[in-house]
Amino acid sequence: MAVPSWTPTGGAARAVALEVLINGPISRTEIARRLDLSAGSLTRLSAPLLEAGILVEGEERAEGRAGRRSRPLDVTPGSRTFLGLKVTGDRVVGARTDFRASIQQVLDAPLRSRDPEAVVATIAGLAERLAPTGGVTGLGVGVGGRVDRGGVVLSAPFLEWEDVPLADLVAARTGIPSVVDNDLVAFTEFEHWFGAARTADRFAVLTLGAGVGYGLMVGGEVVRDGDAGLGLVGHWPLDPFGPLCPAGHRGCARSVLTDSAVVAAASGALGREVDYAGVLDLAEAGEPVARRVVDDAGRGLGRLIAAVANLTMPELVVLGGEGVRLASVASAAVQEGIALDRDPRAAPVRLVATDGDDAEWCRGAAVLAIQEYVLGGARSSTT
């Protein structure tokens, strides 16, 4: 289903609109500086955007040392509604957001079957619950696996899928323009447009949870190829004496940092079953076994962060995923791990941790839909 265009023209006018969407409210002087435009050119480009209601003027405020009064440009966040959904192996989580991917409502629903038709029906049901009166501009779906640019899920191990044209199926079922991509790509795009890395030209994302994810943004674009979605960073070696992963690798990131790895190590040592949150709670309370398990994982995370920093030299590393609490509970061990593999002369690695809730994945999926709408189907860089 074709996605309607946000702006009537592309080129420099769209660049102005995007600058305001991502960074507004923003002064005309700052827009001109960022886009290397003269004041006259900016006025010419912004006038039709204001007339069309794409941009609006904010309240007058002083600008610069001279205190000249001006009205910053902005969008109306509530003028558009988007849906973002994250599909896992057993449920779908969905959120309704505004034009800047701010959460308005979050709902979820269990998957009673992994059959594509059943999953699409669950997505459609959530979409209707999230926006019962319609008016949705676009819908984005994040899936753990390999997804091509046309929204076909090439492989998704958690769903046991291959070659499922999910974007077309969702659009046909919901009647909403839909886009599907790898969930980590979606997460990274959100951080780039509206998150902690909004001002960064080059940053990395590491996520912890059922798996270990890695995303890299350089020059406004996610670095990706046909192997995106395979979870390759999970094979990165961290501990030559560590446990085996299902692929037979000893001490790789997947065998050390996932929720299941931490739970298995702690439960085995404690002689009783403990869930992931329980292990972290025990570690915070000073229980020796849990503390050791969590700190070992924390050092492993630090070594992975160091590897990413050494190889890609990001301005910052964003940590996320449902298992991200490990980074705070084992913060000292994380720093130890970074120091083990980092030149002491190198700049400190700037770390930013997200909340780790389901909503952050949904916001990423919503950004996929926002990008599809504002970029006219040409999702790439922001300018």
Task: Kindly report, residue by residue over 339-368, the tens digit of the pLDDT.
Answer: 999 999 999 999 999 999 999 999 999 999
Q: Are residues 230 and 290 in the same domain?
A: yes
Range of the domain at 140: 79-189+360-374
Asked, for residue 286, whether it belongs to a domain, the answer is: yes
Residues 202-238 have pLDDT tens digits of 999 999 999 999 999 999 899 988 888 888 999 999 9
Q: Are residues 123 and 212 in the same domain?
A: no
Q: Are residues 347 and 369 in the same domain?
A: no
Provide the percentage of residues in the chain whose pLDDT is more than 90. 87
| pLDDT for the residue numbered 335 | 98
Q: Are residues 164 and 305 in the same domain?
A: no
Q: Are residues 129 and 4 in the same domain?
A: no
Residues 152-200 have pLDDT tens digits of 999 999 999 999 999 999 999 999 999 999 999 999 999 999 999 998 9
| pLDDT for the residue numbered 307 | 98
Number of domains in the chain: 3
Q: Are residues 231 and 337 in the same domain?
A: yes
Asked, for residue 61, whether it belongs to a domain, the answer is: no
| Dihedral sign for Cα atoms in the order 105, 111, 114, 115 | negative
> What is the rounded average pLDDT for all residues in the chain?
93
Euclidean distance between CA atoms 177 and 297, whole angstroms: 42
Q: What is the pTM of this model?
A: 0.92
378, pLDDT greater than 70? no
| pLDDT for the residue numbered 382 | 41
Q: 381 falls in which pLDDT band (50, 70, 90)?
A: very low
And the tokens for 89? 């192996």
Q: Are residues 185 and 123 in the same domain?
A: yes
Residues 6+ positions from 295 with CB-CB distance below 8 Å: 283, 330, 332, 333
336, pLDDT greater than 80? yes
First CA to last CA distance, the chain: 25
Asked, for residue 68, whether it belongs to a domain, the answer is: no
Under DSSP, is residue 287 helix (H, G, I), strand (E, B) or coil?
coil
| pLDDT for the residue numbered 105 | 98
Asked, for residue 221, whether it belongs to a domain, the answer is: yes
Q: Are residues 285 and 255 in the same domain?
A: yes
Q: Are residues 135 and 228 in the same domain?
A: no
CATH number, residue 184: 3.30.420.40
Residues 14-43 have pLDDT tens digits of 999 999 999 999 999 999 999 999 999 999
245, pLDDT greater than 50? yes
| Strand boundaries in the chain, DSSP class E | 56-57, 61-63, 68-70, 73-74, 82-87, 91-97, 103-110, 138-143, 146-147, 153-156, 161-164, 178-182, 202-208, 212-218, 221-222, 316-320, 351-353
From 364, 291, 369, 301, select the one nearest 335 (Cα to Cα): 301
Asked, for residue 290, whether it belongs to a domain, the answer is: yes
203 strand-pairing partners: 217, 316
70, pLDDT greater than 90? no
| pLDDT for the residue numbered 98 | 97
And the tokens for 227? 């192997």
From 46, 51, 41, 40, select the one nearest 16 (Cα to Cα): 46
Omega before residue 25 within 30° of 0, cis: yes
Asked, for residue 379, whether it belongs to a domain, the answer is: no
| pLDDT for the residue numbered 380 | 44
In the 3-class helix/strand/coil scheme, how is 80-147 assigned residue by residue? CCEEEEEECCCEEEEEEECCCCCEEEEEEEECCCCCHHHHHHHHHHHHHHHCCCCCCCEEEEEECCEE
276, pLDDT greater than 80? yes
Q: Are residues 149 and 35 in the same domain?
A: no
Q: Contact at 8 Å (CB) between 217 and 188?
A: yes
Buried b (16+ CB within 10 A) or exposed e, 95-124: bbbbbbbebeebbbbebeeeeeeebbbbbb
And the tokens for 96? 């309704």
Q: Are residues 273 and 325 in the same domain?
A: yes
Euclidean distance between CA atoms 80 and 5, whole angstroms: 13
Asked, for residue 348, whether it belongs to a domain, the answer is: yes
2, pLDDT greater than 90? no
Q: Are residues 210 and 283 in the same domain?
A: yes
Asked, for residue 21, whether it belongs to a domain, the answer is: yes
Euclidean distance between CA atoms 128 and 123, whole angstroms: 9
